[in-house]
Amino acid sequence: MAPNPEPITAKALPELLKNDTKVKLAGIDVDGMLRGKLVSKSKFLSIAESGFGFCSVIFGWDMHDRTYVRELKVSNAENGYHDLIAVPDLQSFRRIPWEDNVPFFLVSFYDPDTNEPVCACPRGLLKVTLDKLEAKDMGAMAGAEYEFYQFKSPAPSDAASGTTAGYLQENAPQSLPALTEGMFGYSLTRPVHNKDYFYDIFDMCSAFRCDIEGWHTESGPGVFEAALEFGEIRQMADRASLFKYVVKSVATKYGITPCFMAKPKQGLPGNSGHMHVSIVDKQGKNLFARDTPDPNPKWADIAGLSDLGRHFLAGILEGLPDVMPLLAPTINSYKRLVENFWAPVTVSWGLEHRAASIRLIAPPTAKPGATRFEIRVSGADTNPHFVLAAVLALGWRGVEKKLEIPVPPLGKGEEVGSGSDQGVRLAKSLKEANDRFTRKESIAREVFGDDFVDHFGGTREHEIRLWEEAVTDWEMKRYIETAGCEIFSKQALLTRTAVPMGSDARTACPDASGQGTADDDSDASDYSSVSTIDDLPPIRAYGHTYHGSGTILTPNDESERGRLEIQHSLFQLCLDGALTSARLPVPTGRPLSILDIGAGTGAWAIAMAAQHPTASIRGVDVSAALLPTAVPPNVVFEVSDANEPWAAQPLNLDFVHVRNLVGGGVRDFKALYAQAFQHLRPGGQIEVAEVRSRWFDFEDDGPGASQEAESELTMEGAVMPASREFEMGVVEYSERLGIDFDPIPKVSGWLEDVGFEKVMEKSDLVPIRASGVDERMKRKGAQLAQLIDYGLECYALALFGRCQAQAGCEILSKQTRLTRTAVPMGLDARTACPDASGQGTADDDSDASDYSSVSTIDDLPPIRAYGHTYHGSGTILTPNDESERGRLEIQHSLFQLCLDGALTSARLPVPTGRPLSILDIGAGTGAWAIAMAAQHPTASIRGVDVSAALLPTAVPPNVVFEVSDANEPWAAQPLNLDFVHVRNLVGGGVRDFKALYAQAFQHLRPGGQIEVAEVRSRWFDFEDDGPGASQGAESELTMEGAVMPASREFEMGLAEYSQQLGINFDPIPKHSTPRRAQELPQTDTMVTAALNQGVGYGIVLGVGFLFAIGMIATTYVLKRYNRELQTSEMFTTAGRTVKS
């Protein structure tokens, strides 16, 4: 960083600002946000030394300008939110390069009565803290590292204001797309996609005196990390605050929204804000460094750390739990501080330990002059002045009291929170942290005083209060009383049987017609008694929310919003940017009157309002779920069913717009058009538009070439048989429900029948994916591919689910086949997007190819269905999304509980002179492999899984994960394994268990072992009489004698449908019995059944496929002996070994 060459004085200001007319000033509030104003140069020169009045309310309200629920001393109604004195720091001068180099100064706030720094002022708190060191002729140096997510900002058409804040008023945060996808940290190619933005931030930071030392991508979608240049602690705190200002300002120019909150995405790493601190003398010598290494340190980690450094570290560790609100200031901060994400959760430290709360950086890994502490607790959402003030105050307290380090360091490979971690657990919530921060005996009060603690603690109380009053989407989704559909009715019965909620529990499940059935003795009633159509309770099924009438097969949730937005964009593309194909009439002396039937998200109506600001536009829809709340003044939306009789008085419409109503909402299209005709003025128009699939022989020869299709392909001639089969199924099942899935060929006739004249038809070709050479066609294809991705899930699930007794299995199969054929690999098929009349054409003349040409199994596009994401092969019925991560973590914990905390039932061999070689098949989240690596740090562990979706990116050095299908032939050369671990592969991933075990056998060393573990449901007469009582089950219950009939019925259904798909749902009895495993290719094998413990009722495992209640987990260990030894057979149960 280039510092100002010499201190700036007030006298120098006129010359410094001689070419300027204005100056920007800003202070920092408790949340680390800049609060400021633009003043004239003359005004600034007049207050440069004495300061000026600045309303204290910036310390009396939160980040959204809401006054605190409890008024605080600094600023309140009683003192009239009086002015503070804001004094410009002349040494903070810099120019804002992206704002025409306007001069900029930071200000500090002082009490007008005492002229002392205001206790709540971040810059003032750091100054007062540093004064104690400077009184001893010492100073402090610091550095900062910030990670932050970046999202693509919404287009202006997506929100009234075109801002992210405006967009999020109407859309779920999850709908914001990441700047880049994937988890590639330190990537050189990811920034290439946004290179101007990437380099602009670096350059602007330099021009704004916030120099970046290191700048790279981090692990996470759209995540960057910046390391700011190390420097004097006060300047560093300023630069850290201003860095966020730079990033947000530059991002605006590129349509990007940076996010510094601690944990923006569930299941992904959070945003850290690590701070580095060291103490120096007047000459700049590092006082943490020891002149010569300590020959007899208490721990080797501190051999190069000075006594002052040791006391400083001790002070931080002792006081850390008492200042947590300064290091984790928000509700969201504590979502980052959780186990297994490289996040510190205890009072811990270690030399170069990157998961501890304090990382000591010292010789021999660093030069003595670079000795420092990295504070790893703080996140990117913190106020850097408060973090550095807290570290400095606690450390200096340790120096003054000569405190000793309270806990030993974490060694290499030791995890935070493990048995060797002796540090206390840090607060798990802001409330817990703030209670400790504000208590009478808090160390925070000792180092900062009561005024600051009372003020900042009060601001956190406000944050907590708002959180406690909030009703979140998660709570609504989890606790609202929902009515599922057929696919989930058995689940409801199962859950009710297994986890009772009392004797008066009720549920209802709408059937295909929307009528309800109930499992109590009350009279069932359908929805005809509901007062208004949108008062119907929504139907939640297949991971979506549907209209309560049960007649509409497209959802009305956020997934449908996404589909409708894509559809709106696709129609505009097909219409060359227009909103209609028709030429609208131009009325004289009155506004144009327009009706939009099936308004959906309201996007079309709002866009029309912008094009025709004098028009009167009404949008109607059967549901308000997706309708916007912020609308132009010439637009009105209403919830109404256009199938019902319209108003008795003519509406005198000029134009009626009907688009994509195929999906069950319209019972009689001809009647709908007749009503529209009756309410149109003479000369009025109607436009009907639908997307229709047809298959043609077609080739895209580029711009200017004819885009005419040749001849429609017959069923036999179609190149996409799965697509045609899928389409035929949709038509068939739609007819069953009384839905006209393809009204397009009849529309023209219906319009003429009801009285319309001059009916015209027009259609536009749309490729089924981005292909060919014409850019416009490629754009249309890309959007249709997205539409298919949404549409398959949104429509087909509800349709097939209501018409097929086999619930979801065949749906997934059909969708998989369609997705394989319709989207990606080498296809050039077309479908049609009609406008005015809804007629369409399509074509394809290329050869269809399936996924056999895909290079790796994980290249398959994922299948999205039932609200989950599945592996693209379509053969695995457990998801690979965050819900499955949660299930696998529970499962891992359950197995450890059954194994009394162990990771295996087997006693692993102890090889001599080489590392233990372990293979984990079906690694999932990698939890087992990583835990084994911690227990066996010298072992070499390989985890394989068919998908990388849930595999971790941060792994120990002795673990490697790879994406591979264990069903395929393994390496030709023996892997020489000592132990093979196979757990819970029931779910479609294994085609032949016996073949899998045979391959494992061939790659084990003599004496090697395999352990196979599955969760299996069996039903016993069992009672838990407490500790010490026998836990043996009596006799297995027959189907008739089972106490959980719904559970047994559900289980039998799973077994039946699994068998239909060729899945062995219960392979456990076929593994082996307590005898020699003679079916394996060798005869020198001992079988040990090592675990047979009842888990008890009330545990549900299975989001997506595996549901098990009252489970018995059975683990088999197959051990291969040396050829020279006599074979032996043993059976182990309940920990006792018995000769058989």
Domain ranges in the chain are 10-118, 138-469, 531-695+723-819, 872-1013
The alpha helices in 186-231, defined as continuous H runs, are 195-207
Contact 390, 326 (CB under 8 A): yes
DSSP element (H, E) containing 280: strand 275-281
Partners of 597 in beta bridges: 620, 658
Listed as own residue / partner, the contacts of 970-973 with beta carbons closer than 8 Å and 24 or more positions apart are 970/999, 970/1002, 970/1003, 971/1003
What is the distance, to the nearest Å, from the Cα of residue 169 to the centroid of all Cα atoms in its chain? Answer: 19
Its pTM surpasses 0.75 = no
Which parts of 30-119 are beta strand (E)? 34-40, 52-55, 83-96, 102-110
Q: Which residue has the tokens 């923006």?
A: 264
Contact 245, 258 (CB under 8 A): no
280 — phi, psi (to 5°)? Answer: -130, 160
Strand pairing report for 680-689 and 275-281: unpaired
Instruction: Tell me what the mean pLDDT of segment 491-497 comes to.
Output: 31
> Which CATH number does the domain 872-1013 belong to among 1.20.210.10, 3.40.50.150, 3.10.150.10, 3.20.20.100?
3.40.50.150
241 — phi, psi (to 5°)? Answer: -65, -40
Which tokens is 996 given?
A: 């899998």
pLDDT interval class at 947 (50, 70, 90)? confident
Q: Do domains 138-469 and 531-695+723-819 have the same CATH topology?
A: no
- CA dihedral (469, 472, 477, 478) positive or negative: negative
- Residue 40's SS3 state is strand
Q: Architecture of 138-469 per CATH?
A: 2-Layer Sandwich (3.30)
Strand pairing report for 83-96 and 544-546: unpaired
Q: Which of 256-265, 578-587, 1017-1026, 1045-1054 has the highest mean pLDDT?
A: 256-265
- Residue 386's SS3 state is helix
Interatomic CA distance for residues 251 and 392, integer angstroms = 33
Interatomic CA distance for residues 830 and 189, integer angstroms = 33
- Residue 700's SS3 state is coil
CATH class of 10-118: alpha beta
- CA dihedral (561, 563, 564, 569) positive or negative: positive
Sequence letter at residue 962: E
pLDDT tens-digit profile of 1048-1093? 666 777 777 777 777 776 776 665 443 333 333 332 222 222 222 2
In this predicted structure, the answer to whether residue 862 has a pLDDT above a threshold of 90 is: no
In this prediction, residue 77 carries a pLDDT of 83
In this prediction, residue 430 carries a pLDDT of 96
pLDDT tens-digit profile of 86-115? 999 999 999 999 999 999 999 999 999 999
pLDDT interval class at 884 (50, 70, 90)? confident
Which tokens is 1091 given?
A: 């675990």
Which tokens is 306 given?
A: 């000075």
In this prediction, residue 410 carries a pLDDT of 87
Strand pairing report for 372-375 and 212-217: unpaired
Q: Which is more confident, 828 or 381?
A: 381
Which parts of 526-679 are beta strand (E)? 539-541, 544-546, 593-597, 616-621, 635-639, 653-659
Contacts of 397 (CB under 8 A, 6+ apart): 315, 319, 403, 443, 446, 447
Interatomic CA distance for residues 183 and 309, integer angstroms = 37
In this prediction, residue 966 carries a pLDDT of 86
pLDDT tens-digit profile of 957-995? 899 998 888 888 887 788 899 999 998 887 667 878 888
- Residue 816's SS3 state is helix
> Which CATH number does the domain 531-695+723-819 belong to among 3.40.50.150, 3.30.950.10, 3.30.460.80, 3.40.50.300?
3.40.50.150
In this prediction, residue 664 carries a pLDDT of 62
